[in-house]
Chains A and B, each alone.
Chain A
Amino acid sequence: MSVANLSYRAVFSLVLKRDLTIAMRHKDDIINPLLFFVIVVTLFPLGIGPEAQTLSRIAPGIIWVAALLSTLLSLDRLFKSDHIDGSLEQMLLSPQPVFILVLAKIVAHWLITGLPLILIAPLLAVLLHLNEQSYEALILTLLLGTPVLSLLGAIGVALTVGIKKGGVLLSLLVLPLYIPVLIFATSAIDTAALGLPYSGQLAIIAALFFGSLTLAPFAVGAALKVSTN
């Protein structure tokens, strides 16, 4: 037995592995948001009608709104169960820097909820007659955009984790922050459908991604300290 300072990477992989193990054993966490995403997207053609032109016009919006809501649905689990059983306290009291722990948890959340969503999105895009030229833009915006949803959402969860019924508050806090991602992502996909370059929109989403990646973990750490007070 020895006491050693863990490297940041070791702490990161320790927490990441733990969260993924828990998710694999508690499969609801993975299946529930994904199922929600699939159901919402498949219901639209049924409700609106099968005309390809209408569907392809609204496809980017539907996919992105569904992705956004399914992320929102899954956010609660990010810190809630750890808060309830006391493991969050233990993490905050560990000698490891809080932002590394938080970052690992957010990455785990994205791998559990964001990644399956990206993998299944092209299939659902076919269902909505998405323009062929837009597939690349759809995947790229989802790849850059869904981590932003997880990162920004984590701030909201961290702020509301101590509140008994924080669900409504969480939506109110987080949804306005999601709107820029939604606007630029759908606009990128629409632009791609016209055959125009969409790198501008993509660059803005990338900026949002890197901005939130570097700042959100610190904000989450601070918010968790307030919430567990």
Chain B
Amino acid sequence: MILRYVITRSKSKNDLHQNKADKHRLDFVRYFQHVKECIFPLSANLAASLASKDEPALISASNLTCIREERLLFDQLTIEINAGDIVQVEGPNGSGKTSLLRILAGLSQPYEGEVFYKNQLITQSREEFHQNLLYLGHLPGVKGEMTAQENLNFNLTLHGLHINSSEIEETLALVNLTGFEDSLASHLSAGQHRRISLARLYKSTANIWILDEPFTAIDKQGVHSLEQLFKAHIKQGGCVILTTHQDLLTFSPSQIKKITLDYLID
């Protein structure tokens, strides 16, 4: 509106001023774009996604409503997550972050609404969706009776990835578990359990990563290398959806999409 106003006004001036006005207009457009980018950091992403509309959103949800224990956690939530996005779900404890992630992963049914993988309902394209999904919940999914190596091997094989034992050792080394390959998981700490389950990320071919509090019980160094891993993953056309109460330090704020759940706060 303002822009058009400026332009029409400049046009109404006489020809002498025309050049100057054009320059002025150009400057103004640039300035306006800059301001817009400062205020709406997502618009660049959004424009890109609009431009390549033939590429369907990796994961999208429409009108999600979630009710737990007779409390409304979120209502009519519509999300679209594209390749290259890193999405942080924010909100206080009990605001429905985990519920949202579980609904997106297809573990829970929403009260209302639907989740789509590449514009197909996830319930209809279950196998394809699960092949491209890596979900790590609150619970590490590590069996105490099996060794670190066996746990990782089982989890990878179950998801259709065949890797040999030397590769498994390498992967465990990446999450600082060298020397613990053959220890029973029940003898390891909570942080090490989490590391065993996170080790899957290094070998995953899934493009959707849904991670619920991945940094719990992980030390600073581990958090840093995980963030590097996320960067590499989104660069390769994947997306990361995570909840964390920590700040993602190696990402600039403009890179991170945020979904804030604060329905409960009055």
Contacts and interface: CB of A to CB of B under 8 A. Distances in A.
Contacts of B21: none
B147 to A, nearest CB: 10
A86 B161 contact: no
Interface stretch (A21-29, A129-137, A205-213): A21-29
Contacts of B203: 1
Contacts of B127: 95, 97
Interface string A1-17: 11111100001001100
How many interface residues does chain A have, given as a range? 20 to 34
A95 B131 contact: yes
A201 to B, nearest CB: 40
B235 interface: no
A85 B141 contact: yes
Contacts of A11: 158
Contacts, number: 87
A26 B145 contact: yes
A77 to B, nearest CB: 12
A194 B144 CA distance: 51
Interface residues of B, number: 35
B51 interface: no
Contacts of A1: 161-163, 167, 203
Interface stretch (B5-13, B87-95, B132-140, B256-264): B132-140
A48 interface: no
Nearest to A81: B143
Interface string B88-128: 00000000000000000111110000000000000000011
A21 B150 contact: yes
Given A93-B135, A94-B159, A85 B143 contact: yes
A96 B205 contact: no
Contacts of A5: 160
B155 interface: yes
Contacts of B137: 86, 89
B145 A21 contact: yes
Contacts of B138: 86
Nearest to A91: B158
15 contacts: A2-B162, A4-B162, A14-B157, A14-B158, A25-B146, A84-B139, A85-B141, A86-B140, A87-B142, A93-B135, A94-B160, A95-B131, A95-B160, A96-B158, A229-B108
